[in-house]
Structure 1
Amino acid sequence: MDNSYHSLKSLFAQLGLENSDEKISQFINNNKLPSQTLLVDAPFWNQGQKHFIEESLREDADWSEIIDTLDTLLR
């Protein structure tokens, strides 16, 4: 098990997204989701990103907490 601390920056890097503070803010501001849309079903993920998020949440992996944080920020 990976016991390292995961931040939004590290999550964005893991997802292959630019992870500067400015790019993270832009992503969040440009990709707001309706409350009924599950994060994993967001239209902006590619298959690899979707799989990573889905698997991390299903397995309650170390990434789950920061993924939940991103979900909240996108609402």
Structure 2
Amino acid sequence: MHNPIHPFNELFAQLGLPCDENGIHHFLTTHTPLAADVDLPDAIFWPPSTATFLRESLLEDSDWAVVVDQLSASLRPLGK
């Protein structure tokens, strides 16, 4: 896997979320665990425009895809 073009906090900014360390921690603790059978863009907490951005980032393997995958992994239960 190559290094992401965008840092993790920049994805949060792109999604319109607080992108400082405390804001990211709060988001992750609030929305973890995301069930293993739920694709990240299908999580109920995203507004439609955010879900579309996440889905397209992955489908198009855009320069956001690596950090979108990182976000997905960060929301999953450990070991799943």
TM-score when scaled to structure 1?
0.91
In angstroms, what is the RMSD of aligned CA positions?
Answer: 1.2
Cα separation, 2, equivalents of 1:20 and 1:39: 21
Aligned to 2:5: 5
How far did residue 31 of structure 1 move?
A: 0.2
Q: Paired residue for 1:22? A: 22
Q: Deviation at 1:7? A: 1.1
Distance 1:56 1:29 in 2: 24
Structure 2: 5+ residue stretches without partners: none
> Match of 1:51?
52
Q: Secondary structure at the match of 2:6?
A: coil
The number of residues matched between the two structures is 72
> Would you identify which runs of 4 or more consecutive aligned residues in structure 1 move more than 4 Å?
none
